Amino acid sequence: MYRQSLAISAMDDQTISIYNKDAESIATLHNTLIPEQIYQLIDTYFIKDEATADIGCGIGRDTAWLKQQGYPVIGIDASSGMLTQANNSHSDIKFIEDYLPELKLLKDSSFNNILCSAVLMHLSPEALPIACSRLISLLKEGGRLIISFRGSSSDDKRENGKLYESIDPSILRDYFLQQGCTIQLHESEVEESRQLTWHNLVIKK
């Protein structure tokens, strides 16, 4: 079903272009932001030592952390510029350039664990359910998906040119429930340093 909708649903091109152009400066910023809460959720909910994907891996910060914790992990991102940063810093990890919502280079039922942090808000509203369906299809039965996202702090949903769509976490939660998944956690947290509200969901297939 999701493949039929790709003509109208895609990762935001302007956002990818900015990540490519500003990859080095974005890498400098991201290296100062350690997502401690996400790491705690991984420790609590991911299946230890099993196949893991970091979708929207950016510079590979979280991918490298996952590897250090013993997870067999690959990183996937839509930005070639960010992946250059990732490969330069973590040459021992496999990184792939691929795009939500299709993620056509990945096979169904390939992963026990998927991290998708700070990605979904860069998709159009039409692409969001398609992307969620694809994420579910990539999980093995009983697999875990951690999603983290935030909205925009600007009225036009653009911050430095990058798209930050508003996502209603309750609608997202209900979508996964309708697909037969279990919601193991739904929480919100405020990032004090930037005064941004993040929404975290842990989903079990």
Structural domain spans, the chain: 2-204
Here the tokens at position 176 are 């996964």
Give the residue from 101, 168, 118, 176 showing the smallest Cα distance to 144.
176
For residues 47 and 143, the answer to whether their CB atoms sit within 8 Å is yes
Q: Report the CATH number of the 2-204 domain.
A: 3.40.50.150
Q: CA 74, CA 63: separation in Å to the nearest integer? A: 7
State which H helix or E strand residue 1 sits in.
none
CA 139, CA 79: separation in Å to the nearest integer?
Answer: 23
> Taking the model in full, what pTM does it have?
0.91
Beta bridge partners of 117: 148
Question: To which residue do tokens 């702090």 refer?
Answer: 153
- Tokens 């875990």 — which residue? 144
Q: What is the pLDDT of residue 77?
A: 96
3-class state of residue 8 by DSSP: coil
* Predicted pLDDT of residue 3: 38
pLDDT at 152: 72
Tokens in use for 51? Answer: 């196949």
Q: In this structure, are residues 29 and 160 in contact, taking their beta carbons and an 8 Å threshold?
A: no
> What is the rounded CA–CA span in Å between residue 150 and residue 197?
6
Q: Which residues contact 171 (CB under 8 A, 6 or more apart)?
A: none
Query: In angstroms, how far is CA 75 from the centroid of its own chain?
Result: 10
Low-confidence stretches of the chain (pLDDT beneath 50): 1-9
Angle between helices 61-68 and 36-45 (to 10 degrees): 40
Half-sphere exposure (CA, 13 Å, Cβ side) for 75? 30
